[in-house]
Amino acid sequence: MGLTVGIYGGSGYAGSELVRLLAGHPEVGGMRISSRGYAGRVMNEVYPHLAVDEKFVAPAEIDASVLDVAFVAYSHGESAEAVRELLGAGTKLVVDISADFRLPDAGLYEEWYGKHPAPELLPEAHYGLPELFGKPEGRLVANPGCYPTAAVLALAPVVRRLGARVRSVSINALSGVSGAGARPSAKTHFVSANENASPYGVPRHRHTPEIEYALRRLGEVPDVTFVPHLIPVTRGILETIVVDPEELPAADEVLVWYAEDYEGWRFVEVREFLPQISHVANTNRVRLSAAVDERAEKLLLFAAEDNLLKGAAGQAVQNMNLALGYPEDTGLGHLA
């Protein structure tokens, strides 16, 4: 029969990518796709590029007790209550794509997002960056943010080896407009985003504490400067990270660190040449590289990913695969 899977928020960008991926997943036997705005409409009427004739249903119409896996693709603050209800109803595994369970405690969450709706669930959330923190355990997976996925994968091998000998870290990140979600705003309107590039979330973007928290699980690291920018592309993230170490390693040495730490992981690629968004768009891959500015004595790290796949839906499916004992690339290897 295969897995019975629920997708909550299936009409958003990340949710529709989940539908696309899970429709072709060999272990999925059936999907229930919820949308609060499109309930009753057929999926391929809303997203004609998807060959899926399932109807959207209201969230309350899904029987959560029969779900093997539920993906929650709501905004932060909305997801936590849905996760609580799903777990209470008996859903075996919940993968949350929002920020509600990424930070370790309610106090830190409140500092950046506001009051946490379900703080009692925080201790059982597994931060789902598998290349660093392994196979998800338990009932609840907190899918990492798109910017932190790229930044932490690029920085982790350096932090593990240099730790307190890193004096500063600055992340300059560029993201496609889909990262802002399907709900339109003045900033993401075509007229505002086209032929433009704009920094935002400065100086307190909400992904900053997530980046620091993940890195500090691996070693000592200073406070991180993080500046994201919106650029006029549909999907993709490119990050240039400037590290100021006490002793400057060679670029080739850093590439060896990457190769050592990510050996055997399907979706992290290490290259000598610098990555571009086009190298990873429509895939679940992160591509990493490194260079050294000897004149300024700085280490330069580079990471590119698709924000809707490795930065959201693809990584969520990867986490599901690992949690249930399937190969990590099940249903993801065909992406190109």
Task: Yes or no: say if 143 and 230 are a contact pair by the CB < 8 Å rule.
Answer: no
Provide the token pair at 107: 């106090």
Residue 129 identity (one-letter amino acid): L
CA–CA dist 247, 88 (Å, integer): 51
Catalytic annotation present for 146: yes
Half-sphere exposure for 183 (CA within 13 Å, toward CB):
6
Among the options 82, 86, 141, 146, which is catalytic? 146
Sheet of strand 268-270, all strands in order from the earlier edge strand to the far edge: 198-199, 224-230, 166-175, 237-245, 298-305, 286-293, 268-270
Q: What element of type H or E holds 163? A: none
Of 9, 145, 4, the C-alpha closest to 82 is 9
Q: Are 184 and 325 in contact (CB under 8 A)?
A: no
Does an H or E element contain 16, and which? helix 13-23
Residues 6+ apart with CB under 8 A from 115: none
Give, as one character, the DSSP assignment of residue 144.
P
Take residue 98 and report the two structure tokens written for it.
């929002």
Residue 321 sits at the vertex; the CA angle it makes with 256 and 11, to the nearest 5 degrees, is 110
User: In the chain, what's the furthest Cα-to-Cα distance?
Assistant: 62
Q: Measured between alpha carbons, how far is 236 from 178 in angstroms, rounded to an integer?
A: 8
Q: How far apart are the first and last CA of the chain?
A: 28
The tokens describing 14, both together, are 């990340």
Active-site residues, by number, are 146
